[in-house]
Structure 1
Amino acid sequence: MATAPRVGGLADAVYENAETDPGRVALARKDDAGNWQDVTAGQFRDEVIALAKGLLAQGVRFGDRVGIMSRTRYEWTLFDFALWSIGVQSVPLYPTSSAEQVFWMLHNAGASACLVEHEDHAMTVGSVIDRLPQLRKLWQLDADPVAELTAAGAHIDDEVVHRHRMAVTPDATATLIYTSGTTGRPKGCVITHANFMAEADNIVMRYETVFSSKPGDEAATLLFLPLAHVFGRMVQVGAVRGRVKLAHQPELAARALLPDLQSFRPTFILAVPYIFEKVFAAARRRAEADGKVGPFDKAVEIAVRYAEAQENKAFGTGSGPSASLRMQHQIFDKLVYGKVRAAMGGRVRHAMSGGSAMERRLGLFFAGAGVTIFEGYGLTESTAAATANPPERTRYGTVGTPVPGTTVHIAEDGEIWLYGGQIFHGYHNDPKATDAVLHDGWFATGDLGALDEDGYLTITGRKKEVLVTSGGKTVSPVSLEERVRAHPLVAQCIVVGNDRPFIAALVTLDPEAVAHWLAMRGKPELPPTDLVRDPDLETEIRRAVVAANTLVSQAESIRTFRILANQFSEEHGLLTPSLKLKRKAIETAYSVEVDALYKA
């Protein structure tokens, strides 16, 4: 178990890396032509200290809070470590935040300055700036504030930054991360330097095989998770502290992400299940378009069986893949699995997944295809992962065992409680909310789960999301939704039925998958409102619902469903930035459709 240092803060790693190996490639960034350019540890240190001096020159002071409203990009990491170098707390703002959300977070945090990505963000902040008298500075990344600030601080001696840095202690606040939340006003989670160090260092140590470099095969990761989210920030901190080459990609959409995976060629990635679902679905569509869907599905079956055999061997319940299975696996490795790995750049052998649950079969397929996905679980309040599957004994379909230094307890009502060095210090300016979830250092998560005999955690739902039908039947919607979403045509699924006579569902479609499905059947493209009434499409979705219903009793099963013409989106306030469903918002927005499910 790694223990947090008694002195210092997160920025120290930048300076220590540059001191010990200034020529090591620490990051990569794209130039104007779209090509990756290496940034050494020494260069990054110089950029960080120059920016820190510029911030001081423009009046940013030790203990201040500075908002950052941007997509994931190199400059965010640069600003984070420059702010931490002078004892300043960063306050991430989601790029899709509304003006009122931006106002609330900047006001609640008492931010003295804010960095935004482009003019639209600047206008969002500008629309509420008259209500933020404490906000003195606003910088816009597209206007190159790095050059402006670097020039402004050129006259300040480096030693001034170092004096600020030496005054930072592990228990000092590093950032206020506002929970996106599925309901209510965001709360600012107080995350300290020690929280991040405990989290990142234990992850890097536990997953040494993932984070370590070999001669000629340096560890590298492409960060595409939102840096406004704690998962993305943990990746950033872990990469710097673990000396992993780090690059950034601002779009989570597969069409933008996959080309960068192929050009940057990371050795591991950290993602949400959506990304792996997209990679798998795209591979299957290509196989179907080439008339090879039969062999592809056979390859999937072999990969799943192969990974299950390896899993059984790891847990002492089997002898591993048979000679016949190994031979079939070897054949499909050239025909199918290698192409799947190539879609992620060709060098990826490991991945970490969080944010929501991954279907067991999908995890087994990727493992059989040569990419082991370590599924984990955590929250903003636990500075990302509290549990994760161990490299030597991955149990697919679970979120693993506690990371080193963490303890997991299941309360009498099934709620998951967490304890450890990465547990946050409370909600900023909200002692009532803090007291509701922190009990003598234990964090009551609000999630429901179970520990098996080997200490592996399975998430079964959220306390607030459990549905109770009018007949008194209690239903956890998560497993049903995941199973329906496993169908290639399905993008999202939300199960409803609280205070209703039975369980029903709203389903949205994946446009790329639907376009392919139509083309393969010689059907014309239709407007979404007409498409959802296609009887063949309805039959396909009904198969997904029937498959989901096999997981539960008849009283808990989905009796009816409605296909929607449009997906739930973050822009319309129906998803959190980590792509979780905002259940109450969706049920309100689609109240007519939900009511219709119970009138048919």
Structure 2
Amino acid sequence: MSSIPSLLRDRIAATPDAEAYRVPSDGGWTSLTWREVGERVRGLALGLSKLGSGPGTRVSILCSTRLEWILTDLAVLATGAATTTIYPSNTAAESAFVITDSGSTIVIAENDDQVAKLRSVQKELSDVAHVVVIDGSAADDGWVVTLDSVSDGEGDYDAMVDAIAQNDLATLIYTSGTTGRPKGVELTHDNWIYAAGAVRELDLLSGDDLHFLWLPLSHSFGKLLEVVMIHIGVPTAIDGRLDKIAENLGVVKPTIMAAAPRIFEKIHNTVVATQQREGGAKLRIFTWARKTGIRVVKARQRGAEIPVTTRLEYAVADRLVFSKLRARFGGRIRFFISGAAPLSQDIAEFFDAAGLTILEGYGLTESSAGSFLNRPDSVRFGTVGPPLPGTAVRIAEDGEVLIGGRGIMRGYHGLPQESAEALDDGWLRTGDIGELDEAGRLRITDRKKELIKTSGGKYVAPTYLEGRIKAACPYVSHVFVHGDLRNYVTALVTLDMDVVTPWAQAESLPADAEKLSGHPRMREEVEKAIDQVNADQASYATVKKFAILAEDFTVETGELTASLKIKRKAVEARHSATLDSFYA
């Protein structure tokens, strides 16, 4: 196959009546077959073609993760156009930038709220001929039309699909912009076909699996999963509502789910805090089970034989504790996949002990999201696994990870100089520092631009410390480690109020974030975690001072990217007074 639409066509021909997608519906779930998906995509593609979608054009999608995102994406691609992705949390100005920079002439918006956002910057969107709203009303001026009104087009669908070449542009994804202005990453049909085919070659998934998708489809990780499941024929249950993840897992009972590390941290912290709050025998059993499980996991990682007595203890721990945790996720999870940011090894070990192995992977938007992945039979925590088949890796003299292969982007949209800086004779400069182990697994030590160099000339990896501290204290939401060109390392800590509030109430402490952030008892809990992490660090890498903030970092305040990574410059700017006070 040469394109994503031809991939879909092949899937429909191979398994027309198999389940493709499952979506929430009137308190339950409704399924669509691949044949039904094909019919809806065909109608939408021909309707969008009449609106002007076609070869050489771009269509922006401003929508949360839901079935219509995938259907409209596939329809846009079938016309020969490229999809430009916009996070629904983006501001009007941010949305306008992506739409105008990409040259989009059509925007697909989720609802009237998103249309209102576009209306507020309509003067800047002079090239946009139509806004197609999924859940909303058409406008009298004709600028806004409904998705239903363009879902029944007529014409030669197969001819449109056949005309798409493998090197045609398929997707423009704007980088989340942890530093500077977002850049549009140009990814071709062949980029996605390669990446999805490489995952298929690993033989990890089959049509018997059930994939649960909540990740933003505006992110490259979500987009890759969309194409992978079409390629392999895996049904996907879709619901992008974060507050429904736990509930949905129990109902849908998926076998696989991918997530950003923050989701696994939240689950871990909720479980640990609940046990600590209950105390007594339950806490003692949980603590014993956790230690037993971690002991088994570490032995497996070393390749050591596990004594019979330890195996018996682990069986008891599994029956009393871990089996109940698995049941909360539906009881059928074969493995989780983690990407988009580093996963703490402590968190990975806890989940593995519970029989919920997390396969950590690695890739950039610029490499079609998937470049490395741990394999179920050879997981090594702390690494992102070996490269996917067909991906090449090289470590530069300064430790930077370079990636080569068919998954590498065409370049940055309209930015030849930045493209030349990122691409070195076909190799992608990732900006990450890493090393390869004896089995060819990659270990990422930190972002090249985010490494802290103290005034004493020592290098410190902030994300490593941040992950360790979050794993050591269940009440912590985010940690920001600071100290570049300073004489010691400090940290800002935010609280996860969903987890903290029940604990605070049980301890007769104020459940108000403002009051709790300054309470000695709360500080004691955080300090205990930081001391625990400091204990096995070199002196120059230990956190000497910290502050607990009253407000969490969020996407809305600009301190997190849409994939929940910290925007370091934004945090430094917003909290400069607090950071400076550490060194006064």
User: SS in structure 1 opposite 2:455?
Assistant: coil
- The 1-side partners of 2:495 and 2:148 are apart by 48
Instruction: Please list the CA deviations of residues 273-317 of structure 1 after superposition, one character each: whole Å capped at 9, or x if unmatched.
Output: 11122222222334344441111111111221222223333xxxx
- The 2-side partners of 1:407 and 1:545 are apart by 38
Instruction: Please list the CA deviations of residues 123-175 of structure 1 after superposition, one character each: whole Å capped at 9, or x if unmatched.
Output: 22222221222110101221289995555464613xx1111100111111110
User: SS in structure 2 opposite 1:402?
Assistant: coil
CA contact (8 A) 2:211 2:236 kept: yes
Q: Does 1:18 align with 2:8?
A: no
From 315, 325, 337, the counterpart of 1:340: 325
User: SS in structure 2 opposite 1:278?
Assistant: helix
User: SS in structure 2 opposite 1:306?
Assistant: helix
Q: Which residue of 2 aligns with 1:423?
A: 408
2:573 aligned partner, one-letter code? T
Q: Does 1:391 align with 2:376?
A: yes
When residues 153 and 583 of structure 1 are mapped into structure 2, their CA distance, relative to the original with a 3 A threshold, is closer
Q: Which residue of 2 aligns with 1:582?
A: 567
1:30 aligned partner, one-letter code? P
Instruction: Please list the CA deviations of residues 194-244 of structure 1 after superposition, one character each: whole Å capped at 9, or x if unmatched.
Output: 1111111111221x23x124xxxx211111111110001011111111111
Q: Does 1:223 align with 2:207?
A: no
Q: Which residue of 2 aligns with 1:504?
A: 490
Where does structure 2 lack aligned partners over 5 or more consecutive residues? 139-143
2:308 aligned partner, one-letter code? A
- The 2-side partners of 1:148 and 1:496 are apart by 48
Q: Which residue of 2 aligns with 1:408?
A: 393
1:194 aligned partner, one-letter code? D
1:305 aligned partner, one-letter code? R
Percentage of identical aligned residues: 35
CA contact (8 A) 2:273 2:475 kept: no
From 401, 418, 433, the counterpart of 2:418: 433
- The 2-side partners of 1:415 and 1:388 are apart by 18
User: SS in structure 1 opposite 2:37?
Assistant: helix
User: SS in structure 1 opposite 2:10?
Assistant: helix
- The 2-side partners of 1:34 and 1:241 are apart by 30
- The 2-side partners of 1:468 and 1:310 are apart by 36
CA contact (8 A) 1:99 1:125 kept: yes
CA contact (8 A) 1:333 1:369 kept: yes
Q: Which residue of 1 aligns with 2:476?
A: 490
CA contact (8 A) 2:368 2:408 kept: yes
Q: Which residue of 1 aligns with 2:99?
A: 106
- The 1-side partners of 2:512 and 2:523 are apart by 15
Q: Which residue of 1 aligns with 2:275?
A: 287
Instruction: Please list the CA deviations of residues 368-403 of structure 1 after superposition, one character each: whole Å capped at 9, or x if unmatched.
Output: 222221111111001112111122211011111111
Q: Which residue of 2 aligns with 1:474?
A: 459
Q: Which residue of 2 aligns with 1:49?
A: 42
Q: Which residue of 2 aligns with 1:263?
A: 251
Written as runs of structure 1 = structure 2, the 5 A alignment for 1:89-238 is 89-143=82-136, 148-149=146-147, 152=150, 154=152, 156-157=154-155, 160-206=156-202, 208-209=203-204, 211-213=205-207, 218-238=208-228
Instruction: Please list the CA deviations of residues 425-445 of structure 1 after superposition, one character each: whole Å capped at 9, or x if unmatched.
Output: 110100000000101110001
- The 2-side partners of 1:153 and 1:62 are apart by 19
When residues 582 and 468 of structure 1 are mapped into structure 2, their CA distance, relative to the original with a 3 A threshold, is same
CA contact (8 A) 2:346 2:468 kept: no
- The 2-side partners of 1:584 and 1:151 are apart by 44
- The 2-side partners of 1:290 and 1:493 are apart by 26
Instruction: Please list the CA deviations of residues 481-535 of structure 1 after superposition, one character each: whole Å capped at 9, or x if unmatched.
Output: 11111121111111111232221110001112211322332x1334322211211
When residues 147 and 322 of structure 1 are mapped into structure 2, their CA distance, relative to the original with a 3 A threshold, is farther
- The 1-side partners of 2:488 and 2:412 are apart by 38
Normalising by structure 2, what TM-score? 0.95
Q: Which residue of 2 aligns with 1:272?
A: 260
Q: Which residue of 2 aligns with 1:28?
A: 22
- The 2-side partners of 1:147 and 1:181 are apart by 32
Q: Which residue of 1 aligns with 2:296?
A: 306
CA contact (8 A) 2:106 2:130 kept: yes
1:94 aligned partner, one-letter code? Y
- The 1-side partners of 2:55 and 2:147 are apart by 17
CA contact (8 A) 1:284 1:293 kept: no
CA contact (8 A) 2:255 2:335 kept: yes
User: SS in structure 2 opposite 1:141?
Assistant: strand
CA contact (8 A) 1:62 1:164 kept: no
Normalising by structure 1, what TM-score? 0.93
When residues 438 and 478 of structure 1 are mapped into structure 2, their CA distance, relative to the original with a 3 A threshold, is same
CA contact (8 A) 1:376 1:387 kept: yes
Cα deviation for residue 565 of structure 1 reads 0.5
Q: Which residue of 2 aligns with 1:249?
A: 239
Q: Which residue of 2 aligns with 1:86?
A: 79
1:46 aligned partner, one-letter code? E
Where does structure 1 lack aligned partners over 5 or more consecutive residues? none
User: SS in structure 2 opposite 1:385?
Assistant: coil
